[in-house]
C-alpha cells in the first residue's frame, strides 16, 4: 500500500472554491480500481491549509489515477488558486 500526503496552501479567501472543486475529484477518485481511500482534510488552525491523504494499492493505481480526466482537468484549477506548489510525499505502509 502507498499513502500520498498532498499538502496545499491556498490563497486567502479561496478555501471554499478549492473545496468546491475537489468534490468531483474525490468522488471520481474513490471509484478507481486501486483506491483504498481519498480524503481531504482542513487544518484546524488555518483553513487555507488543505491536505489530501490518499491510500492506494500500488504505484500502478497511482499512475493510472494521474492520467484520469478528473485528475488532469481539476488539479490544474486547484494549482491556480494555490499560494504555492503542493507538497506531495509518498509513503509505504510498514
**What confidence tens digit (pLDDT) does each residue in 49-76 have?**
999 999 999 999 999 999 999 999 999 9
- The residue among 55, 46, 44, 45 whose CA lies nearest residue 6 is 55
**Pairwise CA distance, residues 19 & 42, whole Å:** 9
pTM for this prediction: 0.91
Do residues 82 and 8 make contact, with C-beta atoms less than 8 angstroms apart?
A: yes
Domain that holds residue 58: 2-92
Q: Could you tell me whether strands 2-9 and 49-56 are parallel, antiparallel, or unpaired per DSSP bridges?
A: antiparallel
- Across residues 3-21, what is the average pLDDT? 95
Q: How many domains does the chain have?
A: 1
Backbone angles phi, psi at 26, to 5 degrees: -65, -50
% of the chain with per-residue pLDDT over 90: 98
Q: What is the pLDDT of residue 68?
A: 96
Residue 93, pLDDT > 90, answer no
- Across residues 27-38, what is the average pLDDT? 97
Q: What is the CATH number of the domain that holds 9?
A: 3.30.70.100
Amino acid at each position: 500500500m502507498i499513502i500520498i500526503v498532498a499538502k496545499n496552501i491556498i490563497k486567502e479567501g479561496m478555501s471554499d472554491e478549492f473545496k468546491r472543486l475537489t468534490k468531483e475529484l474525490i468522488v471520481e477518485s474513490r471509484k478507481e480500481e486501486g483506491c483504498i481511500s481519498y480524503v481531504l482534510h482542513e487544518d484546524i488552525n488555518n483553513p487555507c491549509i488543505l491536505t489530501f491523504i490518499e491510500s492506494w494499492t500500488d504505484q500502478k493505481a497511482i499512475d493510472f489515477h494521474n492520467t484520469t480526466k478528473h485528475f488532469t482537468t481539476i488539479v490544474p484549477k486547484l494549482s491556480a488558486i494555490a499560494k504555492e506548489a503542493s507538497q506531495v510525499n509518498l509513503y509505504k505502509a510498514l
